[in-house]
Chain A
Amino acid sequence: MLLLATLVSACASDLQTKVSGHLSGLSKHQRVAILPVEASDAGQKEMAKMFRQGLYANLKQSKFNLMEKYIVDGLLKQNNLNDPASFLTINPMQFGEILGADAIVFSRINKVERSYFIVHSSIELSVSVQMVDTRTGEILWRAEQTEHDFSGIGKIPTGIITALFAPIQFVTNKFNLRKMTSKMVDKLTALVKRPQDAEKDTQFEKTVIAKNATTDLNKIEELQQLKAEWNKALALDEEVLPVETYQEAQEKTLAPIKNSSSPVPVGQIQNQVPLRAVVRKVGTTDAEMTPATPEIKKQKTVAPGPLSAYRATPILFPRIDHRLSRMKTKSGKSINKMLYTVQVGAYKTKAYAQNLSKKLVKKGYNAFVIHNKVYKVQVDKFKDKQDALKLAQFILKKENLKNFITRATAG
């Protein structure tokens, strides 16, 4: 009984793991990338390498397709993503695009502790792992594991010499660390290899989305609503002069082939939802999933020319709100001189329009608000339509703000 008790206590293991029901949806068609393991100090580096190798070898037997390690490492290097500590701050969807992976596995070595006290020595390992679906941002698997083993009196030495030497050997022989890591990964990956066997307590109660993905998904959703409201506002605008921007030109090129016998395309069907009058925060206009780390910024940064370059022929315009788009002279006669401006937003609520305008002004744009049924945010005025077009494309590229060219009056 004593032996059994000792045996049980000899190798302590604490594993907390949970999987999502969607994990079993991954098949050989889905590619999963195991990212380099985060290790806080040099002493953990070797363990990190061993752990990743073990994880890889174990998950090779799972239902999904593992991406080759050298491809993952090569692509990360090409994108200047060399620090595993920064991986968790990056949107999983960006990893999806960088690696072409459907899911990614983040892992971190929390602890590698070896201790020795003459007749007793121990090793403690602790790791955290998380698998995220890059298509949805959903966490498919999360685990925390601590493994502890020791050598010493507690295990009843077979002799005096072994009582003295075994603890030294236990902490110094790398073979033991290797064995422990292998054992640890075995336990850790058991559930991922057979997610269908997951008990209720090892399943997420509801879908859990990774924090970075949530932020960006919310931005996209909010942007979508903002666009809907904008479209409604545009419908009210009588003076719109749509100009074919690069993106619009592309859309035309890529226009879907209409098949009369096929179901009606989404844009033409009668499922228009009435637009709500709620106007979202202008902060959500940032549509692109912006990189969270400087490394990605380097890769993704678009380098348009300076803003001033797009102001070849603007009419100097005071930075004040304009309540009327058509200013009249004192005699009441309209100023009919043709000018062009770039409209970036339209709101029912003045405060929101002003908010966007202020943000653009802060960035150096000559933005202003006019009121004509709705509050419109416009930038600069130009004599030459081409200059307005250049600025429109610049704003689209730099700020990701859809816009169009419209007529404006001098004032």
Chain B
Amino acid sequence: MGHCRISPFLNLSLALLGLLFAGCGTVDLEVRQGNTNAAMQPRSVAILPFTLEEPVHEKVAPNELFRDCFYNYFSFLGYVDLPLETIDQKLSQAGLTDNKKILELSPEKLRKILGVDAVIRGRVLSASNFTGGIHAETSINAKIDMLDLRTGDVLWETEHKEMSYSGILSPTIVEIIQDQMDNVKVNQAYYKTAEMFSISMMKEIPDPADSWKEEIRLPKITSIETNLKPSLKLKPNDRIYVNLKGDPGLTGYFGIGSWKSDIPLKEIVPGLYTGSYTIKASDEVSSSLIVGKLKNKNGLTGKKFYKNGMAQFDPSPVN
């Protein structure tokens, strides 16, 4: 008898526990293309605005929250991802403000507007946030894929429902109360659900980082010289000259410690950059190292410190 009574109860409990954790953790992401050829892997990617298929009652946009969150996590992978503001700006400049219509654009047109190898399209099929009685639930059901704009192929896609649930199935009363308190903060609840969705996806999305690692090369600076001399205390109107030798055709800067950055250097002959900074009366700083910088078109910056001396400032008042 005992066995008969416990067994269904145990089964029910296990089923409930199974239900409790359904929707959490694993994303079933289908990779359509192996992309074994590293040269064919998309390098630059833009995350298009996510659409919301069913409007939600709350004054939040779960699709926008999800996109922001997804971008934060996606940028951890080895793609060159276009900032969301840049994407929106480019789309807006092209007269595209309707998110659903953007998804319908041809790969060629998207490539022309955004100038990237691939885009990520997100459709939030449904989103809900509910707190009532002992029940608290937030869910996001979405379909996300990556479209190669060079070939028009879908590289991977997934449809997944991420849900954070608390209620009769929760194992403890404290958790029920805690989850309810958390769930009434709608924005936060959606963001947390989106975060779990994103984290789960990142485990599945192919990461091309290893293909690029060997190719990374910072702009090279072979030498940096300044006219700083030992024991000189800089005063207003004194000028610090900086000369830097390195890779030609780049953008040169120099900085003085952390208080003065990105003072431009001019390339006077290929590979030779020069610039200066005149000390102002308002410059109140202690000893600082001069650092030269060369930046390439990809935004990679090579740095070199001038280690033979520091910019030292005369603290005495100017007459």
Contacts and interface: CB of A to CB of B under 8 A. Distances in A.
B161 interface: no
Interface string B50-86: 0000000000000000000101110111101000000
B123 interface: no
B276 interface: yes
Interface in B265-303: 268, 272, 274, 276, 278, 287-289, 291, 293, 300-303
Contacts of A136: 257-258, 288-289
B303 A257 contact: no
Contacts of B258: 22, 25, 102, 133, 135-136, 138
B42 to A, nearest CB: 14
A161 B10 contact: yes
Interface in A227-262: 227-228, 231, 250-251, 254-257, 262
Interface string A341-383: 0000000000000000000000000000000000000000000
A221 B198 CA distance: 49
Contacts of B168: 158
Given A133-B258, A156-B174, A221-B310, A70 B213 contact: yes
A30 interface: yes
Given A96-B303, A136-B257, A289-B307, A231 B230 contact: yes
A272 interface: yes
Most buried by A among B209, B268, B305: B305
The size bracket of the interface on B is 35 or more
A78 B216 contact: yes
Contact of B171 (A157, A178, A256, A271): A157
Interface string B203-224: 0000001001111101100010
A287 B245 contact: no
A56 interface: yes
A305 interface: no
B199 interface: yes
A169 B25 contact: no
A162 B307 contact: no
Contact of B173 (A134, A156, A179): A156
Contact of B216 (A30, A71, A165): A71
Contacts of A77: 213
Contact of A57 (B76, B261, B268): B76
A71 B225 CA distance: 28
Given A227-B230, A287-B308, A74 B172 contact: no
Given A162-B171, A166-B171, A227-B309, A262 B239 contact: yes
Secondary structure type dominating chain A contacts: helix
B174 A225 contact: no
A3 B177 contact: yes
A181 to B, nearest CB: 9
Nearest to B69: A57
Interface string A5-38: 0110011000000000010010001110000000
4 closest Cβ pairs, A-B complex: A166-B171, A228-B231, A155-B172, A74-B213
Interface of A: 3, 6-7, 10-11, 22, 25, 29-31, 50, 53, 56-58, 60-61, 66, 68-71, 73-75, 77-78, 93, 96-97, 99-100, 102, 133-136, 138, 151, 154-159, 161-163, 165-166, 169, 173-175, 178-179, 182, 217, 220-221, 223-228, 231, 250-251, 254-257, 262-267, 269, 271-273, 275, 287-289
Interface of B: 9-10, 13-14, 17, 21, 24-25, 69, 71-73, 75-78, 80, 168, 170-178, 192, 195-196, 198-199, 202, 209, 212-216, 218-219, 223, 225, 227-235, 237-241, 243, 245, 255, 257-258, 261-262, 268, 272, 274, 276, 278, 287-289, 291, 293, 300-305, 307-310, 312, 314
24 contacts: A6-B174, A11-B178, A30-B261, A57-B195, A60-B75, A69-B76, A74-B213, A74-B214, A78-B216, A155-B175, A158-B168, A158-B176, A165-B13, A165-B171, A178-B199, A217-B289, A220-B309, A221-B287, A227-B231, A250-B245, A273-B232, A275-B231, A287-B307, A289-B307
